Amino acid sequence: MIAAAKKCPTRRATPVSVAATQIVQAALREDVSVAELGKLAAADPIFALRVLAFVNSPLMGLRRRVDDVVQAASLLGLRGLRNIALSLVVAGFAGRSPGATLLLANCVRRAIAARHIGRALRGVDADLLFTTGLFLDVGLLVAPGDQIELAQQIGASPATWRVTRERAAGLLPHPQRGADLARDYGLADNITEALLHHHDADPPSERSMAAAWLAERCAGVFEGGDLEYHRARALQGGQRLGLDAKTVEGVLGSLPQEVAAFGTMLDQDMGEQLDLEALRSRAREELVQLNAQYESLVRALEDTIANQERLEQELRRANDRLERLASTDELTSVLNRRALEEALRRDLARADRDAKPLSVALLDVDHFKAVNDTWGHQTGDAVLAMVGRSLKDSLRVSDVIGRYGGEEFLCILPATDSGGALVVAERLRRVLCEQAVPTPAGTVHVTASFGVATATGPGCRNALSSIVSRADACLYRAKQGGRNRVVVDDEQSQASPTPDKPQPAA
């Protein structure tokens, strides 16, 4: 289906392309008839001449000459007339410069190849494929004024590597630019999709889009680089679409002559159109040898771009690692204070939103100064590392543990009320009592005192300072009450009993 007609743009339009644009606009209407388009064609002498030239050219293969424009329009049909109009519009974009002539020939080559492929495939509209093929490379032809020279240089390079060169130069790739132009002209969605994907490594699943993909490969055989390599790609592409080698070779064999004939119909010089045998002969000449060398350089450029993308991924991974290092306490491998407070703000906001409780358990290693004084700071560090490891191993995945400062650790317990927090803190206290740190002079046992506080949403989003202060006050009461115990900031909860207290010495 053809999309609803839009006001067609007139980019670098010549008088011919303005007249042709009117035909395109009319052809896009759902209710238009061939007779109406025939009258429009007859009303413009230049367009009428182009229609007659096309109908009487070898491209149509008629046995008798047609001199009546209305009759010619009837033979062409709606899409045939639209294709001639679009061809004139595209030719109007090209102008007469040598570089633009090459770009126009590239567009026409793809249109003719697409039509041949459409005729060879079942269930595909060959006239619609001509339109698609005509726009495959048009993105280079309509490059902005300050990019025209570069676009012409890219259009003269091997087709396989044009998108790579555009990316390297910071240009909008021609598939996207061509798709944008197709939308401007109100062409069907499957045409714009075909333009976006005609350089894909694999053919699209939709049949007409796959035909356009193969047309790109067939046209690329004539556009520089390693001839046999590109010919093999075209044959392989045809095989993937169910076309035998003879059919694809037939398309390749007809392209040079038909591109030149179409140029005559457009009154445009398409430049020298060499067949495959002439291209093979020229491949022995220095110019094409240099072109093949150039293709090798572009392949290296693509490898460079790929390496750059890999380096960017590695940089992102390195940044992630740095972020983790920046948020981790080096000695204990738990969160540092900055990251811990960020996590507490996040979990308080979540508790506020979900109207759930959140508890924190602030703990302090008992008699830690005595451990350092008696056994040395190296043993003290080993004790802190043991505490951090034991707490991580004993908490849920959703809980958060961090070093709050010195020998103090803070545990964040989401979705946990004061009663549950008391149970968790008591379990952690017992775990630490059972741990031992070996030293050359014996083992060191330590205990810890806990202060627990709870906040409940809604309304707890900004409770960071108060919940930590209340936990700290309970920790102080635990220390004052004999250490190695848990005190909860809740009148209904009781402090845990104090077991026999191990000494900080072995």
479 and 384 in a common domain: yes
Average pLDDT for 357-365? 96
The predicted pLDDT at position 321 comes to 66
**Structural domain of 451:** 337-488
For 254-292, how does the pLDDT look when each residue is reduced to its tens digit (9 = 90+)?
999 999 988 888 888 888 899 988 888 776 664 555 565
259, 274, 297 - which closes a domain: 259
Running DSSP on this structure, what letter comes out for residue 504?
S
Q: Let me know if residue 279 belongs to a domain.
A: no
Peptide bond into 458 cis (omega under 30): yes
Residue 456 near residue 377 (C-beta atoms within 8 A): no
**Residues forming beta bridges with residue 456, ordered by sequence position:** 357
384 — pLDDT class (breaks 50, 70, 90)? very high
Q: Let me know if residue 418 belongs to a domain.
A: yes
445 — pLDDT class (breaks 50, 70, 90)? very high
**Radius of gyration over every alpha carbon of the chain, rounded to an integer in angstroms:** 38
% of the chain residues with pLDDT over 70: 86
Beta strands in 279-374 (DSSP E): 357-365
% of the chain residues with pLDDT over 90: 49
Pairing of strands 357-365, 408-414: antiparallel
69 and 44 in a common domain: yes
What distance in Å separates the CA atoms of residue 87 and residue 259, rounded to the nearest whole number? Answer: 12
441 and 459 in a common domain: yes
176 and 49 in a common domain: no
248 and 122 in a common domain: yes
Overall domain count for the chain: 3
Question: What do you get for the CA distance between the two ends of the chain, in Å?
Answer: 87
**pTM exceeding 0.95:** no
Residue identified by tokens 């409770």 is 463
- Residue type, position 21, single letter: T
254 and 152 in a common domain: yes
151 — pLDDT class (breaks 50, 70, 90)? confident
Tokens of 242: 């169910």
Average pLDDT for 469-488? 96
131 and 83 in a common domain: no
Q: What is the mean pLDDT of the chain?
A: 84
Q: Let me know if residue 233 belongs to a domain.
A: yes
Q: What is the CATH number of the domain that holds 449?
A: 3.30.70.270
Average pLDDT for 444-466? 92
Q: If DSSP states are collapsed to H, E and C, what string results for 449-483?
A: EEEEEEEECCCCCCCHHHHHHHHHHHHHHHHHCCC
What distance in Å separates the CA atoms of residue 77 and residue 318, rounded to the nearest whole number? Answer: 61
Cα angle value 430/433/437 (rounded, 5°) = 140
What distance in Å separates the CA atoms of residue 126 and residue 111, rounded to the nearest whole number? Answer: 10
Residue 420 has pLDDT above 90, yes or no: yes
Q: Let me know if residue 390 belongs to a domain.
A: yes
Residue identified by tokens 């093999």 is 232
For 285-304, how does the pLDDT look when each residue is reduced to its tens digit (9 = 90+)?
645 555 655 676 677 677 77
95, 122, 144 - which closes a domain: 95
Which sign does the torsion angle of CA 175, 201, 156, 154 carry? Answer: positive
* Closest to 110 measured CA to CA, from 77, 87, 76: 87
Q: What is the CATH number of the domain that holds 120?
A: 1.10.3210.10
Q: Let me know if residue 209 belongs to a domain.
A: yes
What distance in Å separates the CA atoms of residue 9 and residue 410, rounded to the nearest whole number? Answer: 66
202, 226, 259 - which closes a domain: 259
For 397-418, how does the pLDDT look when each residue is reduced to its tens digit (9 = 90+)?
999 999 999 999 999 999 999 9
492 — pLDDT class (breaks 50, 70, 90)? very low
Q: Let me know if residue 326 belongs to a domain.
A: no
40 and 122 in a common domain: no
* Closest to 412 measured CA to CA, from 335, 486, 485: 335
Q: Let me know if residue 203 belongs to a domain.
A: yes
For 423-435, how does the pLDDT look when each residue is reduced to its tens digit (9 = 90+)?
999 999 999 999 9
What distance in Å separates the CA atoms of residue 415 and residue 350, rounded to the nearest whole number? Answer: 10
481 and 437 in a common domain: yes
* Closest to 172 measured CA to CA, from 200, 196, 203: 196
64 and 204 in a common domain: no
Q: Let me know if residue 304 belongs to a domain.
A: no
476 and 341 in a common domain: yes
Most confident among 307-311, 325-329, 375-379, 458-462 (mean pLDDT) = 375-379
103 and 84 in a common domain: no
